[in-house]
Amino acid sequence: MRYYVIAGEASGDLHASNLIRELIRLDATAVVRGWGGDLMREAGADVARHYKDTAVMGFLTVVRNVGKIRENLRACLQDIREWRPDVVVLVDYGGFNLRVAALLEGGATRVFYYISPKVWAWNTGRVRKIRRLVERMFVIFPFEVEFYRSFGYQVYYAGNPLVDAIERREGKGERFEEFAGRNGLSRKPIVALLAGSRLQELKHVLPKMARMAGRFPGYQFVVAGAPSMTDGDYAPFLEGTGIRVVHGQTYRLLQQARAALVTSGTATLETALLGVPQVVCYSGEGGALSYWLFKWFVKVRFISLVNLVAGEEVVRELLMQKLNDRNLFSSLSAILDDPDARRRVEEGYAEVRRRLGGVGASARVAALMVDALREG
């Protein structure tokens, strides 16, 4: 089978890479091409274009980059048509991937979707579009099954791939002294900064995170360098702070951290699965306009995946205008210094792990896909 896989950011690249490995293991004839990142390439895919060259986020940024988005869509569609896959597997990244699905509508190529766009958060009207364009949807959160069922659409849940990624991580059991020595860090306890994988996120979130370093002199603040970022990307926001950047070791960093400041997204769930108390930080460009758009479009009570899976507030969320120095200081102080606050977070994390289930999600989803293609 010929699989064309499209992932548009670091988290999608991670999950797509694990899926690709399982597809190749289960299907001896598997050949994989697509748009993604370094992890997909390492898993065996021929990556036609890197997500670093295509990612666009934010309400206003999307508007300013309409021409770029159209060119990316044209190039992607042309590559799919020339390569002629048996199936296109869309991974998360709803804004782009649903447009790809629409352009493929009526053609001979089958379309599967792995990791649903967050239609339950932003735009429930998209469900009707998904029903029309996507043959099979494979979701990674248990609450999504009932959500889609309410619209008369059957989806498939086989667990969450982050459980696999965390369980199989490199450096599991590494001692603090080993990690600190290898990366030139001090012996002070660590506060990890996960500021996102796009330049827009760094610009709006990292300076606010970095200001906390001066407020907590007993801790060292360390940035988890995203795969798509270089030291030069971080430098303008960290000058004079003494904050170090550690690349390619996010899980190793988190398992050594006392606490973390995390940009909303998959990283919040990764941090929870590693048991690190966190404060979720989400900002954006455009000031009052972006805040109004955010409040208008968001349809869920929480924005972090941790709280959504738990169904209650396990971690503090500082969103948009609430992401300020006063709130950051008080929220971080609580999870660093208050044993009761840390205990409540840890109890919430235990419930999240229970709801997500055990390891093997990537293999189970790959098996469902291969079976569906063979039946077809």
Rounded to whole angstroms, how far apart are CA atoms 284 and 205? Answer: 8
Name which of 12-21, 66-75, 171-180 the model is least confident about: 66-75
Tell whether 218 and 159 lie within a shared domain: no
What was the pLDDT predicted at 60? 41
Rounded to whole angstroms, how far apart are CA atoms 6 and 100? Answer: 9
Please choose, from the candidates 46, 29, 38, the residue with its C-alpha nearest in 3D space to the C-alpha of residue 9.
38
Rounded to whole angstroms, how far apart are CA atoms 179 and 250? Answer: 12
Report CA torsion sign: 132, 4, 113, 67.
negative
Assess contact for 7 and 93: CB atoms under 8 A.
Answer: yes
Into how many domains does the chain fold?
Answer: 2
Report CA torsion sign: 186, 190, 194, 200.
negative
Going by pLDDT thresholds of 50, 70 and 90, the confidence category of residue 10 is confident
Tell whether 352 and 365 lie within a shared domain: no
What was the pLDDT predicted at 356? 93
What was the pLDDT predicted at 328? 97
Assess contact for 96 and 77: CB atoms under 8 A.
Answer: no
Tell whether 252 and 319 lie within a shared domain: yes
What was the pLDDT predicted at 66? 61
* 190-245 tens-digit pLDDT: 999 999 888 888 888 999 999 999 999 999 999 999 877 899 999 999 999 999 99
Please choose, from the candidates 338, 337, 355, 345, the residue with its C-alpha nearest in 3D space to the C-alpha of residue 316.
345
Across residues 163-184, what is the average pLDDT?
93
Across residues 57-74, what is the average pLDDT?
64
Rounded to whole angstroms, how far apart are CA atoms 334 and 351? Answer: 21
What was the pLDDT predicted at 107? 86
Tell whether 344 and 369 lie within a shared domain: no
Tell whether 349 and 208 lie within a shared domain: yes
DSSP 3-state of 113: strand
What was the pLDDT predicted at 283? 80
Tell whether 32 and 177 lie within a shared domain: no
* 322-357 tens-digit pLDDT: 999 999 999 999 999 999 999 999 999 999 999 998
Tell whether 182 and 154 lie within a shared domain: no
Name which of 5-19, 72-86, 292-306 the model is least confident about: 292-306
What was the pLDDT predicted at 251? 96
343: Cβ–Cβ under 8 A, 6 or more apart, which residues?
A: none
Across residues 258-283, what is the average pLDDT?
94
Question: What is the percent of the chain with per-residue pLDDT over 90, rounded to a whole number?
Answer: 75
Tell whether 352 and 364 lie within a shared domain: no
First to last CA, the chain: 12
* Residue 332 lies in domain: 172-356
Tell whether 128 and 178 lie within a shared domain: no
Name which of 68-77, 249-258, 286-295, 299-308 the model is least confident about: 286-295
| Higher local confidence (pLDDT), 298 or 157 | 157
* Angle of helix 325-337 versus helix 199-210 axis, rounded to 10: 70
Across residues 348-375, what is the average pLDDT?
95
Going by pLDDT thresholds of 50, 70 and 90, the confidence category of residue 67 is low
What was the pLDDT predicted at 292? 43
**CA 166 vs CA 49, 160, 363: distances in Å:** 27, 11, 15
Tell whether 352 and 366 lie within a shared domain: no
Tell whether 185 and 150 lie within a shared domain: no
Assess contact for 283 and 202: CB atoms under 8 A.
Answer: no
Tell whether 119 and 196 lie within a shared domain: no
Cα 164 from chain centroid (whole Å): 15
pLDDT at residue 154 is higher than 90 = yes
Going by pLDDT thresholds of 50, 70 and 90, the confidence category of residue 59 is very low
331: Cβ–Cβ under 8 A, 6 or more apart, which residues?
A: 279, 316, 318
DSSP 3-state of 178: helix
Domain harbouring 19, CATH code: 3.40.50.2000
What was the pLDDT predicted at 57? 47
Other CB atoms within 10 Å distance of the CB of residue 63: 9
